[in-house]
Amino acid sequence: MEILIAVLVLGFLGLLFGVGLAIASKKLAVQVDPKLEELQHLLPGSNCGACGNPGCFGFAESLLSGKSSADGCRVCSEEVKAKIARLMGLTLEKQTKKIATLHCNGGLKVKDKYLYNGVNDCVAANLVLGGQKACVFACLGFGTCQKACPFGAISMSDEGLPVVDKVKCRSCNKCVLACPKKLFSLVSVSNSVYVACSSHDSGRDVKAVCPVGCIACKLCEKACKFDAIQVIDNLAVIDYHKCTSCKECVKVCPAQTIRIRE
């Protein structure tokens, strides 16, 4: 009899707690916007963080709160972005794709000022007297940008330089932020000409350490008919609002510093 009473009491308590939990789950349930689930279904789920949010769920929440735009996801195709815009009742402005562009062409051609034998990481190497390269603006070649790219768009060449695959690149800006020398920028795919150097040293100092660096000769400046390139602080700078990619500057550059993106 005592065992039976104990079983009945426990059964009653279990039933009571179950009903209580069921009622509490209904009363305390958090209302979820049905659009949130639809957005999560549309988003790629890569959680790369390139949109500036903590993963795809964070981006979906940011969209619902109006803090992000429909084209904020770097991974989504234009078709998916259009679907997101329609779901949110927004207008999607068509944007020209941008490609991560490396402003250095030195690599193994740049002299080393000492033998670095530390961690194979550009950030770590840069902490030691600005890196092992004699040019303080040069790519250190340890592939930190390659590791930072969530899309496998960067590989390291035999010359010790990052090579960007323009098909895989999603202009997520990860390499721009990862490079301690600030050698990457995002350039529109319609602009094929770029300056493969970031040095602000004098032409004489550049030639002493790198055969392909900008020597500030201003031949490019004189050759451009559109006033799209100026030598500022010993470095050729392209104004892409004026540049027509006529390639005249490429033809006259004696160090082949101004290049055409392949």
Of 3.40.50.80, 3.30.479.10, 1.10.15.40, 3.30.465.10, the CATH number of 34-88 is 1.10.15.40
Fold (CATH) for 96-185: Alpha-Beta Plaits (3.30.70)
**pLDDT score for 242:** 96
Ranges assigned E (strand) in 10-115: 98-102
Tens of pLDDT, residue by residue over 180-232, are 999 999 999 999 999 999 999 999 999 999 999 999 999 999 999 999 999 99
pTM exceeds 0.95: no
Cβ-contact 230, 216 below 8 angstroms: no
Measured distance CA(147)–CA(121) in Å, rounded: 10
CB neighbour class for 177 (10 Å; exposed up to 12, middle 13-18, buried from 19): exposed
Tens of pLDDT, residue by residue over 64-81, are 888 888 788 877 877 888
**For the chain, which ranges sit under pLDDT 70?**
1, 25-32
**pLDDT score for 50:** 77
Measured distance CA(232)–CA(243) in Å, rounded: 16
CB neighbour class for 107 (10 Å; exposed up to 12, middle 13-18, buried from 19): buried
Secondary structure element (H or E) that encloses residue 61, with its range: helix 55-64
CB neighbour class for 82 (10 Å; exposed up to 12, middle 13-18, buried from 19): middle
Secondary structure element (H or E) that encloses residue 232, with its range: strand 229-232
Of 3.40.190.10, 3.40.50.1390, 3.40.47.10, 3.30.70.20, the CATH number of 191-262 is 3.30.70.20
**pLDDT score for 73:** 83
CB neighbour class for 176 (10 Å; exposed up to 12, middle 13-18, buried from 19): middle
**pLDDT score for 31:** 60
